[in-house]
Amino acid sequence: MTLLQYLNSSNLAPALPEAEAQSLAAELGNLSGLQVYPRSLTTTSNTLFFLGRKDDQKQLGILSSSDALSSKFSGTSSAVSLDDAALTLTVCDTNASNAAVLRTIFSFLVAKPLGLAKSAGCGDRLGLATPGHIQAIRRSTMAPILAQQSIRENARTGRTPQEVMDDALWGVLQEGWREGFGADADHLKTTEDVDSCVAAGYTFYTIDPSAHVDNHANTDAIETLRTKVAALDWNELETSWENLQRQLSSAPIDLGSFSVTITEEELLRAAAKYGRVVAHTVKMYRHLEQAMNDQPFELEMSVDETETVTTLAEHIYIAHELKRLGVKWVSLAPRYVGDFEKGVDYIGDLDEFEKSFAQHLAVSHTFGPYKLSLHSGSDKFSIYPIASRLAGDLVHLKTAGTSYLEALRAIGELNPTLFREIVAFAKERYGTDRATYHVSAEVSKMADVDGLADDQLVTLLDDFHAREVLHVTFGSVLHHAPFRDHFFATLRAGEETYSRMVAIHFGKHFAPFDAVNKTVSAD
């Protein structure tokens, strides 16, 4: 196929075979002076769009015989000739306004709800990891969320929700991914957070009501629990303690393969611990409904970042109350047994986790179905086979910091001097930065970077203590002026190395969920 043949398509043209895409990309490169990404070639309405790179900057290219579409973009146009055909080549910055126009042309660049499909959240704190994520997703059966960043992470990286969305869009275009993706407005705590993410086009909203959890309810005396429950705003909850007792503790609750009887004490603890959580989640959900103005969206409710494990009775209480109050949600993240520390494998008894996960799954089937979400899910390789075997499609894996760690792995290979400086700085910052994370690493137990040759530096990313120290200090590193420019310049210049490392690492995450011996179907 020639460029003119591919250009002359009135509808969205199919993606090109790899060899043809590379050939046409080379020809476009000669026309534009850009290093063109072959998979980005996309044609519609007799206009060819592509993404290219010049030095360390990416640009959008548009080749057309008319200005019907290209005139909508801000860029620099020039006349070019191709096989005696007079065409216009427009080269544009990859900015927010041009991204917004692209979304009006290509529906596959617009985030959408994923439903109950087995899914993975691919957090990208740098805005550079999406190509690698997609390369891994292509070899997987997971549905991807490609724009995902919490409000806390936005503050620490200096990004806005819109910038996170736009960075994902350019990665999707670069890789020619047309199978759809979600966008997770992660760990939202206020209605203001909701509004900023609605404006940016997010479709998946993770409510974080952790500030409203009463962790003392786990050990409070019964009379203290009664006092706390009596003090709940029952008008806001639209019920009463007496009604709650009749609904949840007057008879066994059938969970399919087994039933459970919730005692009065268990219900008191559940209501005292999570009553305000339910009220806050309902408030956020109803605000979100109004803000979305009938546009489709999905809700995830998260109580994973709490001090105490979510018991079976507590999960039942949360699910029952949210459903009674009209909340619709697609996934829920309990605080599971064991430890889900950042960037390292699960710490705990796997048999105990499997038993507990199966019970939580029974609740999700009874009150849903909805997916069980694995938060702080990066690198929890020992539990993936369990979650996959038990949950089938009813699972959502949420990752974030592991893509940053792979960026450090790439820097270790590409720029050893910078890597050593970052490690030294992270060791200094860890004592402060660990405060808002669940980690147990000790700087004194890190492998000695000074004892490693340059070609051995990346092995530090396989060390438990080093991974956590480097993981939680990302904000300090990215805000540290001496590092920031060199950090991004290194990754942009070596983007193939970074994408390869991300793709390999995420392939390890996704492979256990692609096993065929599922015991639960998507139905």
For the annotated catalytic residues, the residue numbers are 186, 300
Contacts of 458 (CB under 8 A, 6+ apart): 409, 412, 413
- Paired with 505 in beta bridges are none
**Which run of H or of E encompasses 207?**
strand 204-207
Residue 334 buriedness (CB in 10 A; 0-12 / 13-18 / 19+):
buried
Q: How many helices (H) and strands (E) does the chain have?
A: 20, 16
What would the DSSP string read from start to end of 54-104?
ETTEEEEEEEESSSTTGGGS-EEEEEEEETTEEEEEEEEE--HHHHHHHHH
Which has the closest alpha carbon to 164: 508, 400, 485, 331?
Answer: 400
Which has the closest alpha carbon to 168: 154, 149, 195?
Answer: 149
Distance CA 257, CA 265 (A): 24
Contacts of 314 (CB under 8 A, 6+ apart): 269, 270, 273, 274
Token digits for 483? 């590092």
For every residue of 393-410, which 3-state class applies, written as one string?
CCEEEEECHHHHHHHHHH
Distance CA 253, CA 323 (A): 15
- Paired with 77 in beta bridges are 90
Residue 169 buriedness (CB in 10 A; 0-12 / 13-18 / 19+):
buried
